[in-house]
Every structure is written in structure tokens, then in C-alpha cells.
Amino acid sequence: MKKEFVVIGLGRFGGSLVKELIDQGADVLAIDKFSERVDDYASIATQAVIADTTDDNVLKSLGLQNFEHVIVAIGEDIQSSILTTIMLKEIGVKQITVKAQNDYHEKVLKKIGADHVIHPERDMARRLATSIMSNTILDFIELSDEHSIAEIRANEILAGHTLGDLDVRAKYGLNIVAIKRDDQIIVSPQAQEEIKSDDLLILIGGDADITRFEKKALH
């Protein structure tokens, strides 16, 4: 059974999300109040509709209460984003993800019941900054304000040591949840697993602990 999503707001982020979801085999109802945007995605989305989502009668007429997951990707109009989120909660949508423009917008969205709040531009900027500032951290995904997943390339300092030797959980409060080695992915590696040069270590833990590990263990 195909997964079904609704994407409200067809700007750069919302439009890209529609394309990605469709490419991954989902059904997507795409909605925007501007007809030219809807026209752009009429041949891409499963269905594309011109609608004002700040009107609860419109949302009900579209049957959005029957969808498991609605993504509110409205861009600059913060008021419309907030009102749409409130309406979606009121009609009983189970999972609502909303794009926030700033920290204030995020606080309001969380107070009114958004299940997930994302900052695509900010998060991408942080990931890029972390990547280009470090020779060893290849990717960085925030889980919260203080915890992240990091992909770190093992160098000659780590090569030849087992995970038990490193004992990163005791020393740094981190967990190595997987190792990428060539085309192989070792999930939940055991303590006796020996690290090879150029292995990619997938770490999860506090941001400060990840930075401490990168500075002390890799240099």
C-alpha cells in the first residue's frame, strides 16, 4: 500500500519535497493558494489543488482529516502557516510537520501542537558549516538542540583499534551505531570489531561530546 502525504505550500522547499516523495513511490496531494504554482506541479503530484488552507471548511472538503501525515511548507506567510496548523489539528490530522521561518515561529508551532518542526535552511547551513570546518566529520544531522548523529571518517590514529579499545561510550558518552566499510554497513558493531582506515563511523550523542571526540581521538 502506497504511503499518502499532503504538502501545503509549493515554494522551493515544498515543491522539492513533492518531487522527492513522488520519486520514492508515495502518493502526494499538493496544495497552494497560487494557481501558477499548482500548475507547475499538476503533472508531478498525484493531485494538485488550488486552495486556501486557513479555511477549515476547505480542509474538510479536501478530506485532509483522512491523511496520516500533512506537511505545511508555507514559506514567508507565517500567519498562514500558523492558522493552517491550527486548522489541521482541529480536524484531527494525526501527524503534522511544519516548516518554521525562525525560532519564534517554531515556539508558536510547538505550542499549537505541531508534531515536528523543521528549519531546512538553518539545518542545511549548520550541516555545511560543520562539514567544512572539520576534516573528519563528513555529515552532521541534528536530533535536537544538543544531540546529533555524525558521520566521521576513521584515520590512521583509529585504524587497528577495536571499538572496545576506544570505549567511546565510557570516555565520551557516545554510541557508535554503525560502520560503513566500502559497500558494507555493519549495524550495531560489536566491541571486538576492528576499525579500518577510511571506515565511516556513525556516532550518536551530545554535540559537545562529538566535538570532544573529534578533537581528542582523531588528532
Separation of alpha carbons 36 and 135, rounded Å: 44
Q: Enter the pTM of the model.
A: 0.67
pLDDT (tens digit per residue) in 139-158? 777 677 678 888 888 888 89
What SS3 string covers the chain?
A: CCCEEEEECCCHHHHHHHHHHHHCCCEEEEEECCHHHHHHHCCCCCEEEECCCCCHHHHHHCCHHHCCEEEECCCCCHHHHHHHHHHHHHCCCCEEEEECCCHHHHHHHHHCCCCEEECHHHHHHHHHHHHHHCCCEEEEEECCCCEEEEEEECCCCCCCCEHHHHCHHHHHCCEEEEEEECCEEEECCCCCCECCCCCEEEEEEEHHHHHHHHHHHCC
Separation of alpha carbons 114 and 25, rounded Å: 25
- List the one residue out of 152, 135, 136 whose CA is nearest residue 205: 152
**Residue ranges of domains in the chain:** 4-118, 123-217
Sole residue written with cell 509549493: 10
pLDDT per residue rounded down to tens, the chain (219 residues): 788 999 999 998 999 999 999 998 999 999 999 999 999 999 999 999 999 999 888 999 999 999 989 999 997 789 999 999 999 999 999 999 999 988 889 999 999 999 999 888 777 666 666 665 666 666 777 677 678 888 888 888 899 999 999 999 999 999 999 999 988 999 989 999 999 988 999 999 988 898 888 877 676
β-bridge partners, 152: 137, 201
pLDDT (tens digit per residue) in 66-108? 998 999 999 778 999 999 999 999 999 999 999 998 888 999 9
- List the one residue out of 60, 117, 61 whose CA is nearest residue 92: 60
Phi-psi region of 146 (alpha: psi -120 to 50; beta: other; left: phi over 0): alpha
pLDDT at residue 120, rounded to an integer: 82
CA 146 to each of CA 25, 55, 138, 140, 206: distance values in angstroms, whole numbers, following the listed order: 33, 37, 19, 12, 6
The number of CA neighbours under 13 Å toward the Cβ of 80 is 13
β-bridge partners, 47: 29
pLDDT at residue 97, rounded to an integer: 94
Q: Yes or no: is domain 4-118 CATH 3.60.10.10? A: no
Cell reading at 84 = 493552517
Homologous superfamily of 123-217 in CATH?
Regulator of K+ conductance, C-terminal domain (3.30.70.1450)
